[in-house]
């Protein structure tokens, strides 16, 4: 009787294992979650769809969001349930690639579902596994020879290394000249990693029609965490505060720019944080010698970078209020408006409100045709609003940000850092400023998705200098200077404060 029960139990276990095998063969999600016990988020589903639909699929993703585990397990799934599949794994170093192989080996040896893949009496090498179903898995590092190999599946996990142009170029040369030629036209290429530069290999592949490239930052444009169960906004904010802004932008937001190339390096901006300064809801009151209220305390200047569309996917509208205390050269950021999808009417009402709360000496409005109309409409609402339009051209924008850079270098700007709301703003504007750099062509460019906070800050700083008459129009002294500087027929004056 006991023997019969034991046999029945074995049969039941075999039956369940057979069901699990068939379910896993049909569903990668079942294999990944129910059999291997990994967590599965909506971005993993998107990766699965991308891998199913695309022959050449590349994912740029934040650190510690499961990208390496997911791609390695997808490759293992293909090798396990498609006999005679040849998989090659590449990483930036042999050590990292062998670590992936150790991970795969531990998964196989620890799973009843997969243990049969390891042949009896045939020990595996560190970098080469031959499965019982005829599939193979081989590990290589970037730069290694691949001639003679014709894999069915290639996994490139974090193959980029270094941040200099020459280091990144070496990886690209290897990729195009060594790896791609060994791929059969039916082979599948699965790439995943974190971007290193705005012009690295991943950026190049985005321009090629044969590659599907997708980006998954830890925090999206709406400020929502990608995987809150693992990294919620609080944890990400703590990590942001514990590392330089440029590194956080690259590793977690997938928006890279090297600190050396940044026009506003992190250490310089961090020195301008003021732990005693906080954002205000309205201007502080000034008192005369008799202790009576006497207007607002200090001079205030507003930079306004408007968004044209009120659509929810439109750019952000940004308004930055800068205060300069009496008889001081330090300029403090005391109020910020940063909203997406503000209509023209909402922007006008907000500016009227700020004019009432802070009594600014000058409002600098970024200008084009839409902004000129906005200026006229604002004046109709409140004729006393001191608005000037900054017509943005290439040379004027460079002057605008050079003036801001000089103010930061001299320590004349203080960023609020005294409470949570202030720190959140400062981190955002630091990130936007970090992403500004001078390109090889000599053109000022931001590699970030948004620069509205940085732009409104630069405009507020410009307003403070323009109000005091410290802006010089070089074209007034040297006619044609701007045309010569820009190298075109434009006649915009170059302004240097």
Mean pLDDT of the chain, nearest integer: 85
Judge whether 39-216 and 266-496 match in fold. no
Q: Per the structure block, which two tokens stand in for 210?
A: 């044969």
The share of the chain scoring above pLDDT 90, in percent, equals: 53
pTM for the model stands at: 0.61
Give the pLDDT confidence of 120-151 residue by residue, as tens digits. Answer: 888 899 999 999 999 999 999 888 767 667 89
State the Cα–Cα distance between residues 34 and 21, nearest whole angstrom: 11
Beta strands in 310-453 (DSSP E): 316-324, 331-340, 362-367, 387-391, 413-416, 436-438, 444-446
Give Cα 414 to chain centroid, integer Å. 25
Question: Beta-carbon neighbour count of residue 363 at 10 Å?
Answer: 26
Q: Are strands 128-130 and 136-141 parallel, antiparallel or unpaired?
A: antiparallel
Q: Hey, what are 460's tokens?
A: 């507020």
Q: Which two tokens stand for residue 137?
A: 């898995």
pLDDT, tens only, 147-194: 667 899 999 999 987 666 677 788 889 999 889 988 888 999 999 999
DSSP state of 125: P
Residue 244 has pLDDT above 90, yes or no: no
Q: How far apart are CA 304 and CA 367, in angstroms?
A: 10
Query: Token pair of 41, please?
Result: 């988020």
Per-residue confidence at 263, pLDDT binned at 50, 70, 90? Answer: confident
> How many CB atoms within 10 Å of residue 107?
18
- Residue 191 CA to residue 13 CA, distance in Å, equals 37
pLDDT the model gives residue 161:
77
Q: Are 298 and 277 in contact (CB under 8 A)?
A: no
pLDDT given at position 150: 83
Q: Name the residue with higher pLDDT: 62 or 496.
A: 62
376-411 burial: b if 16+ Cβ within 10 Å, else e? eebeeeeeebebebbebbbbbbbbbbbbbbebbeee
Q: How far apart are CA 76 and CA 394, in angstroms?
A: 51
The answer regarding whether domain 39-216 maps to CATH 3.40.50.300 reads yes
Res 65: pLDDT = 94
Q: Which of 205-214, 329-338, 418-427, 432-441 has the lowest mean pLDDT?
A: 432-441
Q: Could you tell me which residue, 290 or 389, shows the higher pLDDT?
A: 389
Are the C-beta atoms of residues 41 and 19 closer than 8 Å to each other?
no
Catalogue the long-range contacts made by 200-208 (C-beta closer than 8 Å, 24 or more residues apart).
200/160, 200/168, 200/172, 200/256, 201/159, 201/160, 201/168, 201/171, 201/172, 201/175, 202/58, 202/60, 202/160, 204/172, 205/58
337: pLDDT strictly greater than 80: yes
Residue with tokens 């300069």: 324
pLDDT at 493: 42
- Give mean pLDDT, residues 242-247: 75
Q: In this structure, are strands 136-141 and 86-91 parallel, antiparallel, or unpaired?
A: parallel
Domain 266-496 grouped into CATH 3.30.420.240: yes
pLDDT band for position 13 (50/70/90)? confident
Listed residue (453, 458, 472, 447) closest to 404, CA to CA:
458
In terms of C-beta density within 10 A (0-12 exposed, 13-18 middle, 19 or more buried), how is residue 319 classed?
Answer: buried
CA angle at residue 323 from 317 to 327, to 5 degrees?
A: 160
Residue that is written with structure tokens 């090297």 in the block: 258
CA distances 156 to 33, 193, 365, Å, are 23, 8, 47
Averaged pLDDT for residues 274-288: 92
Q: According to the model, what pLDDT value does residue 315 have?
A: 72
pLDDT of residue 2: 47
Domain boundaries along the sequence of the chain: 39-216, 266-496
């Amino acid at each position: 009787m006991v023997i019969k029960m034991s046999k029945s139990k074995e049969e039941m276990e075999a039956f369940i294992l057979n069901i699990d095998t068939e379910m896993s063969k049909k569903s990668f999600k079942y294999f990944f979650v129910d059999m291997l016990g990994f967590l599965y988020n909506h971005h993993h589903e998107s990766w699965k769809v991308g891998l199913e639909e695309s022959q050449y699929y590349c994912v740029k993703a934040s650190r510690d969001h499961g990208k390496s585990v997911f791609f390695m397990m997808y490759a293992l799934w293909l090798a396990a349930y498609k006999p005679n599949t040849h998989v090659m794994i590449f990483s930036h170093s042999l050590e990292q690639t062998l670590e992936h192989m150790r991970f795969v080996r531990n998964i196989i040896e620890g799973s009843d579902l997969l243990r049969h893949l390891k042949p009896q009496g045939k020990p595996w090498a560190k970098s080469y596994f031959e499965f019982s179903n005829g599939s193979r898995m081989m590990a290589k590092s970037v730069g290694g020879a691949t001639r003679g190999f014709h894999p069915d599946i290639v996994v490139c996990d974090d193959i980029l290394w270094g941040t200099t142009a020459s280091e990144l170029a070496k990886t690209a040369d290897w990729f195009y000249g060594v790896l791609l030629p060994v791929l059969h036209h039916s082979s599948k290429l699965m790439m995943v990693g974190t971007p290193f530069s705005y012009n690295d290999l991943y950026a190049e592949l985005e321009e090629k029609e044969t590659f599907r490239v997708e980006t998954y930052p830890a925090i999206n444009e709406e400020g929502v965490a990608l995987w809150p169960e693992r990294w919620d906004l609080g944890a990400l904010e703590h990590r942001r505060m514990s590392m330089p802004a440029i590194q956080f932008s690259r590793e977690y937001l997938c928006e890279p720019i090297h600190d050396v190339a940044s026009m506003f390096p992190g250490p310089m901006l961090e020195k301008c944080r003021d732990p005693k300064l906080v954002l205000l809801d309205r201007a502080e009151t000034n008192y005369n010698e008799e202790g009576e209220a006497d207007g607002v305390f200090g001079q205030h200047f507003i930079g306004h970078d408007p968004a044209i569309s009120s659509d929810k996917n439109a750019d952000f509208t940004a308004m930055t209020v800068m205060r300069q205390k009496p008889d001081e050269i330090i300029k403090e950021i005391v109020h910020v408006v940063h909203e997406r999808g503000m209509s023209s009417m909402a922007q006008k009402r907000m500016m009227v409100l700020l004019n009432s709360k802070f009594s600014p000496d000058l409002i600098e409005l970024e200008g084009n045709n839409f902004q000129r109309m906005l200026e006229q409409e604002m004046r109709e609402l409140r004729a006393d609003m001191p608005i000037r339009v900054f017509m943005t051209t290439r040379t004027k924008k460079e002057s605008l940000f050079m003036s801001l850079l000089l103010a930061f270098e001299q320590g004349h700007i203080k960023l609020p850092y005294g409470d949570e709301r202030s720190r959140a703003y400062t981190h955002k504007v630091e990130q936007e400023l970090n992403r500004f750099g001078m390109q090889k062509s000599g053109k000022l460019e931001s590699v970030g998705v948004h620069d509205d906070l940085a732009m409104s800050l630069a405009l507020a700083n410009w307003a403070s200098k323009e109000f005091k008459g410290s802006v010089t129009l070089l074209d007034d002294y040297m006619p044609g200077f701007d045309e010569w500087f820009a190298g075109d027929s434009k006649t915009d004056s170059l302004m240097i404060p």
